[in-house]
Chains A and B, each alone.
Chain A
């Protein structure tokens, strides 16, 4: 309830600073206010470190998205098909449902991987991988790169 009040106050502050009280401005203020309160109330955190982790993650993700597209373009356009696709089981270290959702969603946008399904006990994520020749290496790459960062960000 107090959180809601804060969001409203921040939204009003946003419209005031922008100097125009319109529906669009208020909506933008509400979104920003929600983000800010979510961010600030994360337990046991100092904001600066959290901000660094968040921006580092966004940069990393955008880079992975570009890389994914470049590889995809190479695979589509090259005359010979060099990829070796397969379905791989990735054991999860993540524990909260939110983190697992974020991980499996964003993983689809990183090079070569496509989330297919999660086991009922949330322990294993099954992915389709374009480069599955070495399953152990694929698992390691996903876990040490992407999962570790999600974990640092959300758990």
Chain B
């Protein structure tokens, strides 16, 4: 019984990560690729770790497993946010099939300041060093 649960958890987790890996190859641009990896990295790794905890079924392993899952949950989205933001600044283009980009024209490309509204052409943000 325990072996069956462990096996299922590890297999499903590994399967998700395999799908994410295929996604990295098949998805058309950086942002859609990160969509694939972030979600599967979290749930897939979480399930594998959970499987480990079920397999050993001891207090010390379980607490470590819970901590590891918590860290994966916290760090994966932050990594995705930083990578996505950096890619946007570097000018990595969105896939040509993308339907909208409401972030365009809202960054100040010199200072990386992001406004909540589109600024008029050529205007500087209020606390820009040259304003």
Contacts and interface: CB of A to CB of B under 8 A. Distances in A.
Contact of A108 (B16, B19, B81, B114): B81
Interface residues of A, number: 45
Interface stretch (A5-13, A39-47, A65-73, A141-149): A65-73
B73 A76 contact: no
- State the main secondary structure of chain B at its contact with A: helix
Contacts, number: 148
A68 B77 contact: no
Given A89-B102, A135-B100, A121 B116 contact: yes
Interface residues of B, number: 49
B124 interface: no
Interface string B21-43: 01100111101101110111011
Given A108-B80, A109-B76, A81 B97 contact: yes
Contacts of B35: 72, 85, 112, 114, 128, 130
A104 B94 contact: no
Contacts of A108: 38, 76-77, 80-81
Given A73-B16, A109-B73, A126-B103, A114 B116 contact: no
A84 B94 CA distance: 11
B94 A87 contact: yes
Given A85-B32, A86-B98, A109-B38, 14 more contacts: A65-B39, A73-B16, A76-B20, A77-B22, A81-B97, A86-B102, A105-B78, A105-B81, A112-B35, A114-B31, A114-B38, A126-B103, A126-B106, A128-B31
Interface of B: 16, 19-20, 22-23, 26-29, 31-32, 34-36, 38-40, 42-44, 59-60, 63, 73-74, 76-78, 80-81, 84-85, 88, 94-95, 97-104, 106, 113-116, 125
